[in-house]
Structure 1
Amino acid sequence: MNLNNIRIVLVNTSHPGNIGGVARAMKNMGLSRLYLVEPRQFPDEQADWRAASAADVLDTAVVTESLEEAIADCQFVVGTSARGRRISWPLLDPRQCAERMALASNDEQVAVLFGREDRGLTNDELKLCNLHLNIPTSEDYSSLNLAMAVQVVCYELRMLLNSPLLPKTEDEEWDTPFTTGENMERFYSHLEETLTDIEFLDPAAPRQLMVRLRRLYSRVRLDEMELNILRGILTETQKWVSKSKKKLPK
Structure 2
Amino acid sequence: MVEDYRTHPNLAKIKIVLVETSHPGNIGAVARAMKNMGLSQLVLVNPKEFPSQVASVRASGAADVLNDAQVVASLDDAIADCQVVVGASARMRKVSWPQLDVRQTAQLAMETVSADAQAQVAILFGREDSGLSNAEMDKCHYLAHIPTNPTYSSLNIAAAVQVFVYEFLMATDIKSVHQAEGYRHQLASAEQLEGFYDHLYQALQDIAFLDPSKNARFMRRMRRLFNRSQLDVKEIDILRGILTAAQRQSNQLKTLTQDRD
Shared fold per TM-score greater than 0.5? yes
1:110 to 121, 127, 149: 121
**Superimposed CA distance per residue, residues 68-99 of structure 1 (whole angstroms, 9 cap, x where no aligned partner):** 00000111111112223333111111111111
Given that 2:90 and 2:155 are in contact with CA atoms closer than 8 Å, whether structure 1 keeps it comes out as no
Distance 1:247 1:225, change over 3 A: same
Query: 2:240 is paired with a residue of what secondary structure?
Result: helix
Gaps of 5+ in 2: 1-8
Tell me whether 1:18 sits opposite 2:18 in the alignment.
no
**Partner in structure 1 of residue 206 of structure 2:** 197
Deviates more, 1:120-129 or 1:82-91: 82-91
**Partner in structure 2 of residue 68 of structure 1:** 76
**Superimposed CA distance per residue, residues 160-192 of structure 1 (whole angstroms, 9 cap, x where no aligned partner):** 23x4xx375458742311100001101001000
Give the alignment of 1:129-144 within 5 angstroms. Answer: 129-144=140-155
CA–CA separation in structure 1 for the residues paired with 2:228 and 2:179: 12
2:238 to 225, 229, 235: 229
CA–CA separation in structure 1 for the residues paired with 2:137 and 2:48: 21
**CA-CA distance at 1:207 after TM superposition:** 4.9
Query: 2:42 is paired with a residue of what secondary structure?
Result: strand
Given that 1:179 and 1:227 are in contact with CA atoms closer than 8 Å, whether structure 2 keeps it comes out as yes
Gaps of 5+ in 1: none
Give the alignment of 1:80-159 within 5 angstroms. Answer: 80-106=88-114, 107=116, 108-159=119-170
CA–CA separation in structure 2 for the residues paired with 1:238 and 1:63: 38
| TM-score, length of structure 1 as denominator length | 0.94
2:39 to 13, 31, 55: 31
Code of the residue aligned with 2:254 in structure 1: it is: K
* Percent identity over paired residues: 51
Q: RMSD of aligned C-alpha atoms?
A: 1.5
**Number of aligned residue pairs:** 247
Tell me whether 1:77 sits opposite 2:88 in the alignment.
no
Structure 1 or 2: more helix by fraction: 2
Q: Which runs of 4+ in 1 moved over 2 A?
A: 82-87, 166-175, 202-205
Tell me whether 1:177 sits opposite 2:186 in the alignment.
yes
Query: 1:34 is paired with a residue of what secondary structure?
Result: strand
**Partner in structure 2 of residue 212 of structure 1:** 221
Deviates more, 1:59-68 or 1:201-210: 201-210
Query: 1:124 is paired with a residue of what secondary structure?
Result: helix
